[in-house]
Amino acid sequence: MNLRRVSRSTLTSADFKLAKPALFDLPAGGIAIATGVEARLETHEDIRAPAVNGSEPFTDPVTGLVSASSATGVNVTPSTSGSRNVASAYLELGIPVVAPTMSLPLARAISFQMAGRYEHYSDFGSVAKPRLAVDWETVRGVRLRASYEQGFEAPNLETTAPFTYARAQSVTDDYRCEADLLTHKIPSFDACTDKVIVAYQESGNPALQAERSASHSFGIAFEPPGLSEPFEKLTLTVDYWQLRQYSVVGVLGAQALSAQDYLNRIEGGSGSANIVRGTPTADDVAEFAGSGLAPVGLITQIDDRFENVQPETISGIDYQLLWRATTARRGTFLFSVEATTLNEFNQPAPTPLQPLYMARASGIINPATVLPVFGNMLEDLGNPRIKSNATLTWTLDHLQLGASIIYTGKTKDTNLVSTSGVPWPVSSMTVINLYGDVALGEGFGAHSPRLTLGARNLFNRSPPLESDGYNAALYVPYGRYIYAKLSVPL
């Protein structure tokens, strides 16, 4: 059987822009302006073969069972399509207020940036967002800066399309794990092996709204003037920032819905409306015997859909040190350090899942029940508290040597918890890279051949292990990589 899938996205746009560096003059200088309008047409379609999109189901001639997909080993995935029209307009102004020639105390230079953007979407309405920034040079070499802005991101056409697609997914049946624990078939809840492969169905939501955000920052930049060798240029910056995102698009997730079913049944209910189970068999009844829990069949299907969930707040501090030195005999040195420390990464649990966290904390459901990461997410999964990168480059005549150090702080694997609910600790990682580059021969001028030798991950560090192997959002799985390159400019 030949299966064909055709995916196509188009973007058609027309715009008009106008920019002028000095619209008119103020005592401190000219006001700069940039403005424009734009019209866009976005389309998307994903056409699946009839054997996959459900239009050609398969009926087993022996059992009579009907499968929505007639392709072996392929889950049914419907074809989807959608389009939207977008009209937008923006305006940016650069306004100088104080210039160095004014000789004002503690105000060598002050300038403002004001901007705004309006967009109208045919599928979910209009949004308008502003931005305001100020740059204040108190004395030569010392600048204070601050900004406030709002933003938005429209949901993509796939998540707003009225579709449902199914994927085979492994999920732990928490309710059956509780039965196994009560009948002493397992020593602890996290030793449960009641995993099943289910049809996990995700649905689009035409009622999705745009993700919105508001952010602000303030900081200081220090560039000492009049430095002599070897400090040709030295820059130090520190900036605090906070980002708050609203109406973030997401799904509850298969495992959370399994836990929701677990809690509902423990409290005497009939389970989660999003969980479909088979009729209990004699084996199911025998497995629950002696547990005091009502027997259930295996989970066969889990239904989920995209929603605008709770807001999240992220804040941190960015640090940067940049040093450049040019000497007559020892060449040029360039050293930089960039680091970010997260102070806050908080996202409340979606309203439907909040009872799960309270039930786990109070012991109504087992403390080792795995739930999605919400609340204080610092150091959880892909959110290390500290990330930094340092580079050093030395150039002398035709030779250049460079090194970099990349540090990623420790995290916690919240998908693997102890019997008391403590996440698995994931260690930090430091990667060192080196390279050397040299021009070969003289007399070639700009066409001189160059030889580059280098090593990435010099000490062959492996990503720290997690329950899923390693965190692909933070690390790459490559060990030591030695490379050589010969290039000849034409």
Q: Give tens-digit pLDDT for 72-123.
A: 656 677 777 888 899 999 999 999 999 999 999 999 999 999 999 999 998 8
Q: What is the pLDDT of residue 362?
A: 93
Say what percent of the chain tops pLDDT 90: 58
Q: What is the pLDDT of residue 79?
A: 78
Q: What is the pLDDT of residue 1?
A: 63
| Per-residue pLDDT at 162 exceeds 60 | yes
For 242-301, how does the pLDDT look when each residue is reduced to its tens digit (9 = 90+)? 999 988 888 999 999 999 999 999 999 999 999 999 999 999 999 999 999 999 999 999
The Cα 452–Cα 329 span in angstroms is 23
Region 170-184: what's the mean pLDDT?
95
Q: What is the pLDDT of residue 229?
A: 66
125-139 and 481-487 beta bridge pairing? unpaired
Q: How would residue 68 be classed by pLDDT, with cut points 50, 70 and 90?
A: low
| Per-residue pLDDT at 444 exceeds 70 | no
Q: To the nearest whole number, what is the mean pLDDT of the chain?
A: 89
Q: How would residue 466 be classed by pLDDT, with cut points 50, 70 and 90?
A: confident
- Total residue count of the chain as it appears in this document: 490
Region 122-130: what's the mean pLDDT?
87
The Cα 9–Cα 14 span in angstroms is 17
| Greatest mean pLDDT among 356-365, 367-376, 433-442 | 356-365
| Per-residue pLDDT at 65 exceeds 90 | no
- Residue 256 Cα distances to 114, 303, 416, angstroms: 44, 12, 14
Neighbours of 446 (CB within 10 A): 6
Q: Residue 22 half-sphere exposure, CB side, CA atoms within 13 Å?
A: 7
Q: What is the pLDDT of residue 460?
A: 94
| Per-residue pLDDT at 61 exceeds 80 | no
Instruction: Give per-residue burial for 452-485: e unless 16+ CB within 10 Å, then b.
Output: eebbbbeeeeebbebeeebbeebbeeeeeeeeee
Q: What is the pLDDT of residue 297?
A: 94
Region 200-209: what's the mean pLDDT?
86
| Per-residue pLDDT at 322 exceeds 90 | yes
Region 218-241: what's the mean pLDDT?
86
Q: What is the pLDDT of residue 446?
A: 62
Q: Please state the pTM of the whole predicted model.
A: 0.77
| Per-residue pLDDT at 187 exceeds 90 | yes
The Cα 112–Cα 114 span in angstroms is 7
Q: What is the pLDDT of residue 75?
A: 66
Region 333-341: what's the mean pLDDT?
95
